[in-house]
Structure 1
Amino acid sequence: MNLKQLAEELGLSQTTVSRALNGYPEVSEGTRRRVQEAAEQHNYRPNTRAKGLATGRSMMIGHVIPASTQHEMVNPVFGDFVAGASIACANRGYDTMFTRVDDGDEEAAYRSLMGKGSVDGVILQVPKIHDSRIALLKRIGLPFAVHGRSSDVTDSYNWVDVNNTSAFRRATEFLIDLGHRRIALINGLEIMDFAKRRRDGYTSALEAAGIAVDPSLMSSEEMTEVSGHHQTRDLLESATPPTAILVASMISALGVRRAIEEAGLKMGKDISVITHDDDLSYLKNGQDVPIFTATRSSVRNAGSILAEILIDSIATPLSPPRHKLLEAELVVGRSTGPAPA
């Protein structure tokens, strides 16, 4: 079935059907739903090339991947985020493009994408505390949306983020309520905005409880299984080891558990662990009962929401930037218990 036939079946103009399928705001929600249901029923998919010619758009959303972060392509967090974003893009008639660039060449890549009209917008991931990409994209006029926020950027822009500060404050308070006083933080790289916010949540909970912040209990590294293992091993070998550990990633938490077991200790009894869980498709936190107590927020859902915000801003370029702050859920699993006597 083509666009003309679908329009005739619905008794609508081809323009109205096209606009309904492409998310234009002037189409009523009832009409949009009726058109989408009919398109699904008849397995109709708009021709991307034809849409591009008609609208003057590429119908493409871009991701620029620097060489130093290429390993992110195999990171399950990146994979789930992209899955959510790409499905949302496809539902709105957009394709997804990845551009690999050498470190330091990001600005040239964004300018090239803009100049060639290769993409209608781009998605930024893992922003730093001060992220120069945001000012660049605003300056050259390329629509964008950010997965996360950049603390030092005061201009308004599209973003979707999880409330990292609140999540890690609540997790630390939970451990304090269990009687823990020596609580370690195994964080991501703290040049990244999310890691700074998680540290702030951790330290604010300690200070509110009258517990001194001990720098020897805090570490900041790339979030890998190996780094989680090494950092935990060093903590457990110290003269005054922690009784609980707060971890920034499920991937790091696997290394934390390995180090605990190698030390002959039992997680949840001898030492408690709370991690952040992005509710990953291929790295589930147990089944009926979670393995780790965790602050949980779906990164796939974040990707879907962010793509929708970006595509809406492309369709209505004069609309104000949109923000979405997602709250993490504290899920209690088998990795936490009262502080040892």
Structure 2
Amino acid sequence: MNLKELAQHLNLSQTTVSRALNGYPEVRDATRKRVQEAAIAFNYTPNTRAKALATGRSMSIGTVIPTSNKHEMVNPIFGDFVTGASEAYVKAGYDMVLTLIEDGEEERLYRAIRAKGNVDGIMLHSPTMDDPRVGLLKELGLPFVVHGRASHLPPDYSWLDMNNKRAFQRATAFLLELGHRRIALINGLEQQDFAFRRRSGYVEALAQHGLTEDPALMTSSEMTELEGYRAAHRMLALPDPPTAFLCSSMLMAIGTRRAVADARLDLGRDVSVITHDDDLSYLKNGQDVPIFTATRSSMRDAGRRAATMLLQQIAEPGGQPMQYMMEAELIVGQSTGPAPRR
């Protein structure tokens, strides 16, 4: 069934049916409900090209990944975020366009996107402290939402972020309350804003307990299993090794667990580990009882919320920046325990 046939069946104009399906506010609720029910009953799907012509929109959302960050596409964190975002896009009739671009070519690409009009908005990932993409997209007038924040820029743009500083401050304080004093931080790349904030939370919690951070117990790298293993293996070989680790991702925590096992130590008894981002569809943190103690924040929910914010900006241009802060909850698992006696 096409739009014309659906309109004839409902004895409505094609314009009214189209507006009802696309959420225009001037359509009465009773009419909108009637149209939606008929569309479901007759398995009617709007023609994307026709919808784009009618609305003047491309009905696509852009996500641009520079080649230096291409590992993100196989990262389960990115996968969950994209899954959540896609749920919102599909519901609104949008497609997602994923583009891989050479480093240094992003400005050219964004200007070309604006000129061609082949996407209606942009989702920005992995912002740095003073990310130049924010200013560029504001200049181009493209609707965008940043997944994260850029701490060194004025906060006059739309973003969705997790309270990284508070999450890592709380996790560090939890380990300190268990008696740990040699706590290692295995962090992501600290030129990225989220990792900078996590380090700040860790350092602040140590300071509140009268402790100074030890550079030998702090590392910053890509969030992979191998990097987690290498960092933990090196630190456990120190003359005064850590009794606890705070990891920025599940993959790093898995690598840390491997290093702990290689050192013939018991997880949760000899060495404690806390991870972040354990609520992942394809990398579960155990079954009934979590393996790792974790600061948990749903990436799928973050993707869904950020996409909804971006779609609202596209539908209502010229509005105020939209900002949303998510909080992580501390989940106690089997990987933490009191500091061992030396």
TM-score (ref. length: structure 2) = 0.94
Query: What does 1:20-35 align with in structure 2 at a 5 Å threshold?
Result: 20-24=20-24
Query: What does 1:269-288 align with in structure 2 at a 5 Å threshold?
Result: 269-288=269-288
Gaps of 5+ in 1: none
The alpha-carbon deviation at position 327 of structure 1 amounts to 0.8
The answer as to whether partners of 1:23 and 1:315 remain within 8 angstroms in 2 is no
**Aligned-partner residue type, residue 150 of structure 2:** S
Query: Does 1:294 find its partner at 2:309?
Result: no
Structure 1 residues 73, 176: CA separation in 2 closer, same or farther (over 3 Å shift)? same
SS in 2 for 1:210: coil
1:51-108 CA distance string (max 9 Å, x none): 1001111101011121112222211111111111112101101011112211100000
The answer as to whether partners of 1:272 and 1:336 remain within 8 angstroms in 2 is yes
The answer as to whether partners of 2:278 and 2:285 remain within 8 angstroms in 1 is no
Structure 1 residues 210, 97: CA separation in 2 closer, same or farther (over 3 Å shift)? same
Report percent identity of matched pairs.
Answer: 61
The alpha-carbon deviation at position 15 of structure 1 amounts to 3.8
Structure 1 residues 5, 329: CA separation in 2 closer, same or farther (over 3 Å shift)? farther
Aligned partners of 2:260 and 2:26: how far apart in 1? 58
Query: What does 1:136-285 align with in structure 2 at a 5 Å threshold?
Result: 136-285=136-285
The answer as to whether partners of 2:77 and 2:277 remain within 8 angstroms in 1 is no
The alpha-carbon deviation at position 239 of structure 1 amounts to 0.8
The alpha-carbon deviation at position 19 of structure 1 amounts to 3.5
The answer as to whether partners of 2:278 and 2:294 remain within 8 angstroms in 1 is no
The alpha-carbon deviation at position 41 of structure 1 amounts to 4.3
The answer as to whether partners of 2:169 and 2:204 remain within 8 angstroms in 1 is yes
The alpha-carbon deviation at position 44 of structure 1 amounts to 2.6
Structure 1 residues 33, 224: CA separation in 2 closer, same or farther (over 3 Å shift)? farther
Aligned partners of 1:241 and 1:340: how far apart in 2? 12
Q: Which moved more, 1:17-26 or 1:72-81?
A: 17-26
Aligned partners of 1:225 and 1:33: how far apart in 2? 50
Query: What does 1:51-90 align with in structure 2 at a 5 Å threshold?
Result: 51-90=51-90
The alpha-carbon deviation at position 26 of structure 1 amounts to 5.3
The answer as to whether partners of 2:164 and 2:197 remain within 8 angstroms in 1 is yes
Alignment size in residue pairs: 341
TM-score (ref. length: structure 1) = 0.94
Aligned partners of 1:139 and 1:40: how far apart in 2? 41
Structure 1 residues 273, 54: CA separation in 2 closer, same or farther (over 3 Å shift)? same
Query: Does 1:93 find its partner at 2:126?
Result: no
Aligned partners of 2:78 and 2:141: how far apart in 1? 26
The answer as to whether partners of 2:121 and 2:310 remain within 8 angstroms in 1 is yes
Aligned partners of 2:157 and 2:17: how far apart in 1? 30
Gaps of 5+ in 2: none
Q: Which moved more, 1:23-32 or 1:39-48?
A: 23-32
Structure 1 residues 319, 256: CA separation in 2 closer, same or farther (over 3 Å shift)? same
